[in-house]
Structure 1
């Protein structure tokens, strides 16, 4: 087993010079950027590296990175000031972004060169709303109980009715003395049945799109600080970028700020800004060994019924892939604008900039139609980058981390106590370059498919033509993701076990071949994980 220590990206074959600085100016792309190919080779989320040991690490209240006196930015007065005040935090959350092509985007590649890359960053549920509820509350899905995107068992209404808005990342950061803003997608179905101007507790600044035309990113409406405003012109992600940059520019110097910025891209239909319409004209969906392959070993029924992809399906996947790349250019522009704004306002040395996604996405792997919700790596492992005070530029860690860790990390960086409901760990020791000896050995992934089999509704179905009758979703499952294995138990009683080190594309289900005592240990571990609550989850994740 390898260590999860920090290593330079160049040591992983990710040359810092692969994306020249001249190709990555902060700001917006022209349509020529990235045409037809990659502008860099930095890898994100495609290397299955082992993590470290586990336990209650990350709850010890270790000094946050910004208190260490080290800064990744320039020396002098600004760096000295960064050591004497609590840091600002900017958190960018993409929608349905896998880690396969991050090197195509120059501003995100710059962020990787200037900061830390998490190679094993795992979501709690590869579905939008349950995953976002985890981010807001640092709870696994069985605890926050927002199990889907729609009522009655999920969506914004479920989150609100359960009273979970009263204690979230927003309220915790606000109580820590931060000026807070949420710009972009909140929870599916917002604003629900409440009045249109509803702003949840904890947010000083609020610009959140309503469902109508949100994914089309044109002719949309935003709930803005108590009012619903119509936008007849403009690309939604560009508007969100401007709102986020304005929040940074108008924040007072004597109060730290927390910005949660959630663009819509690359969620289907992967609407892109007109200026990017001609980008990536020749791009085709990657064909890894798992593409259009059913796998070996005992396969669950929902996979067995998938036939080979025909030529029309592959052409569709190529088109979706190009559109997703084009839509991501606006997100890359967003990161560039944020970077430029932080530099222009003198905040580059006292601000953490985090970037990740709510879940991943599959396109043709395992013969699957475009979508998410599965326990495969394409769906549960997402890119995660962070730059900020005390972080060594151009480094990478294989430590097992995930979306459940974001809120504890932000509150510790803010100098605040860990929320009592939190089930994740603070990543602050890892940001600082350390590796706690008792770091976790596993994370929990859950999916609840509470829908009748004859009427499937969900992310594999909501963008398909109406004439498509076959749209299988996995049944409910729970999965244990360790540093080298994924073990899955479906509600049907079917199971999967993948050796990520020897079979990174998850083509061989080894559950029938593995030693029975090993499978029993994984099953017992998973059962304890599914029953954990609050701090006990950080004991269970050690095995």
Structure 2
């Protein structure tokens, strides 16, 4: 052994023994525990048979549970992809690590458990989904999917070089992970993050799973037809319902021809979005895909289903595709476990299986996550530890995803930084029950206004109760007695019998907020909108293409209501004054009600790359005396580079030279589809306008 490496390893071992209560069976650095961290995206605990799934079998994940410990009370701090991953890496809540929502970029300069392990002699690697926008830091090797990644023939970025690889993403991710394990320096311990894309939306099964569940009718969740009767506005106004908010092509894989569009005019259509994904497939892959879906799709179109029949057809298509993706994950978990055993690594490797959060599989009629309700708040967690407890279902200890980082460091024999807010699970995995373990968990969701319309909220969950506060443009509390109401359909916050419980929970909630330094939610709110005065206020607007109902500006004539967006924009944009147009141009005829003199017209538009909102290519203005024959005033092209600018509000301004008119026409050109360099390539682009100011 080289002298420098020998001295380094001896000093690291000594340091590890000084800070850890655990002494390994051998002091040799070769006996340091390896770490394999397997994470899937959106894998609901309801779809794992060792968690009691009524839908599917997961024999390989179950195998891990039989050889380790399964946690029944495993939760996330913020049920959304990027923020959850940031919590796992840093051991800190999102208001501390800075990754509040999916629109923000992870600050890779901060401390992570991976960096600490690397400093202490570990070989570190991540393969698969990263989803934090910045490049991975602290890894000797990384090979990641850009953004969400694709299921078929995905692009991978290997150490900065982007390549398209033929195959199915779950298989490829496992291939790359096993290849790295083969090629690594066997003399050093390893920490491998194996992070799968599946079963994330849009749930595209691999070739060998396309016909799985074909002849089965899977059971509807008990709450599929939930009416949200006792819940706050947030549960009622979300846009994540299976029967209303899924795209017929992208989500449900039913291509719609031009001749069929009228039949499906009430559905969400996205032909280009789906076509871009489908076009990535090889001819052989497309043939197999069509063979699996075409007949059923044709039967669906002929049936022309309505109401509950349509909703339940969508559920069956969704849940079967989702479970097909899970089956591929499970098989690949088996491949990895087999590799560890065949290479004599299983006895010395800490293996963790989890998901970045839970997911709705039709409960409350939903897909997606975000809410603090159980299906998205709770996430699977199975850990097989060297010399740890085996075949144990832990129902007592409440675990949070900020606990993962300290646990990894503890097993590596490395000091846990004081700034980490989580706790090591090592004593629990060794069969002990720490007397000082938490009795409640704290949750805070920030991503609103945003996709799916789930309002900001924070809350506390104890073994029996869950108290949630929705805030920002709402002030609503919800309380659930999980013992009496495990499906969370009966909000008892206004029930007089629970008032003492509410007082106790609010007191405990405040203590947790103080403990985690999250006492002022107003720090993270969008900047306020601005009141402006101008000649056009009160004008009536008629659009050629309607704005999206969820981005209405709270007023059909919002472009002339006297409110505009803030000068300073942050990543949490308040969309309340903006009117949004998905894929379509903004084409508006404006009636001022009387003739006015116009010297200048200024229209404000938003550019927000992370939310797929782009500045218009140009804006044209014209005026008319009779609202039929219009005289062109001119065209204003966008100024900025839409690729390099992430967030800006731009004014499209033109001098009108004192024209007198009652009518105005505005055309703002939407780019139509997200460009090829954008993470949403091929999907509909948004155009957002706030106030048109007339001087």
* 8 A Cα contact 1:92 1:354, kept in partner: yes
Cα distance, 1:183 vs structure 2: 0.7
Query: Given the alignment, which residue of 516, 519, 540 partners 2:502?
Result: 519
Question: Helix, strand or coil: the match of 1:393?
Answer: coil
1:481 and 1:62, CA in 2 relative to 1: closer, same or farther beyond 3 A? farther
Residue 86 (str. 1) matches residue 84 (str. 2): no
TM-superposed deviation, 1:229: 2.0
Q: Residues 126 and 286 (structure 1 numbering): CA distance in 2 closer, same or farther, change over 3 Å?
A: farther
Summarize the Cα distance change of 1:486–1:414 in structure 2 as closer, same or farther, 3 Å threshold. Answer: same
Q: Using the TM superposition, give the Cα deviation of residue 175 of structure 1 relative to its aligned residue in structure 2, in angstroms.
A: 1.5
Change (3 A) 1:283 1:510: farther
Relative to 1, partners in 2 of residues 1:175 and 1:510: Cα closer, same or farther, differing over 3 Å? Answer: same
2:415 aligns with 417
2:140 matches 1:204: yes
On the 8 A contact 2:146/2:155 being kept in 1, the answer is: yes
Deviation string for 1:422-481 (max 9, x for gaps)?
Answer: 111100111111000111011111111332xxxxx42x4xxxxxxxxxxxx321000212
SS in 2 for 1:272: coil
From 332, 335, 338, the counterpart of 2:336: 338
1:45 corresponds in structure 2 to none
Verify the 8 A CA contact 1:135 1:406 in the aligned structure 2: yes
Q: How does 1:57-456 map to 2 (within 5 A)?
A: 63-64=21-22, 67=23, 85-103=31-49, 104-150=57-103, 154=104, 157=105, 159-160=106-107, 164-188=108-132, 190-191=133-134, 199-211=135-147, 214-231=148-165, 233-284=166-217, 286-294=219-227, 298-304=230-236, 310-367=308-365, 369-398=366-395, 399-451=397-449
Q: Deviations over 1:300-327 (max 9, x none)?
A: 0132458996332222122111111111
- Of stretches 128-137 and 386-395 in structure 1, the one that deviates more from structure 2 is 386-395
Aligned partners of 1:83, 1:116: CA distance in 2, in Å?
A: 26
Q: Is the CA contact 2:102–2:447 (under 8 Å) kept in the aligned structure 1?
A: no
Which secondary structure state, in structure 1, belongs to the residue aligned with residue 363 of structure 2?
A: coil
- Measured in 1, the distance between the counterparts of 2:219 and 2:437 equals 34
Q: Aligned pairs, how many?
A: 425
2:384 and 2:242 map into 1 onto residues whose CA distance is 42
Shift of 1:527: 2.9
Structure 1 residue 378: Cα displacement:
0.6
Separation (CA, whole Å) in 2 of partners of 1:148 and 1:209: 19
Q: Is the 8 A contact 1:317 1:364 kept in 2?
A: yes
CA distances 1:132-171 after superposition (whole Å, capped 9, x unpaired)? 1111111112222312112xxx2xx2x23xxx44311220
2-structure distance, mates of 1:486, 1:62 = 35
1:39-95, Cα deviation, whole Å (9 max, x unpaired)? xxxxxxxxxxxxxxxxxxxxx97645xx576xxxxxxxxxx8999821101000110
Q: Secondary structure at the match of 1:166?
A: coil
Q: TM (normalized to structure 2)? A: 0.58
Q: Which one has a larger percent strand, Structure 1 or Structure 2?
A: 2
Identify unmatched segments of 5+ residues in structure 2.
Answer: 1-17, 50-56, 244-307, 520-695
Post-superposition offset of 1:503: 1.6
Q: Are the aligned partners of 1:248 and 1:341 in contact in 2 as well (CA < 8 Å)? A: no
Q: Tell me which structure has the larger Cα radius of gyration.
A: 2
Matched, 1:497 2:495: no
Equivalent residue of 1:375, what SS? coil
Does the CA-based 8 Å contact 1:177-1:255 persist in structure 2? Answer: yes
Instruction: Structure 1 unaligned segments of length 5 or more: list them.
Output: 1-59, 70-79, 192-198, 452-456, 461-472, 537-543
Shifted more, 516-525 versus 253-262: the winner is: 516-525
Cα pair 1:182 1:261 within 8 Å, conserved: yes
Residue 207 of structure 1 and its aligned partner are, at CA, apart by 0.5
User: Looking at both structures, which has the greater relative contact order when contacts are Cα pairs under 8 Å and sequence separation is at least 6?
Assistant: 1
| CA spacing shift, 1:81–1:102, aligned 2, 3 Å | farther
Change in 2 beyond 3 A, CA 1:179/1:499: same
Task: Tell me, yes or no, if the aligned pair for 1:290 and 1:506 is still in contact at 8 Å.
Answer: no
On the 8 A contact 1:117/1:384 being kept in 2, the answer is yes
Contact persistence 2:221–2:362 (CA under 8 A) = no
Q: 1:507 aligns with which of 489, 493, 505?
A: 489
Deviation at 1:276, TM superposition (A): 1.1
Retained in 2: the 8 A contact 1:210–1:220? no
Task: State the 1:294 CA deviation.
Answer: 2.9
Structure 1 stretch displaced more, 308-317 or 417-426: 308-317
Deviation string 1:10-39 (CA, Å, 9 cap, x unpaired) is xxxxxxxxxxxxxxxxxxxxxxxxxxxxxx
Distance in 1 between the 2:402 and 2:89 partners?
A: 9
Please say if residues 220 and 230 of structure 1, whose CA atoms lie closer than 8 Å, have aligned partners that are also in contact. Answer: yes
**8 A contact 1:479–1:488 mirrored in 2:** yes
**Contact 2:242–2:362 at 8 Å: present in 1 too?**
no
Q: 1:442 to 1:253 in 2, by over 3 A?
A: same
Structure-1 separation of matches of 2:152 and 2:27: 41
CA contact (8 A) 2:24 2:31 kept: no
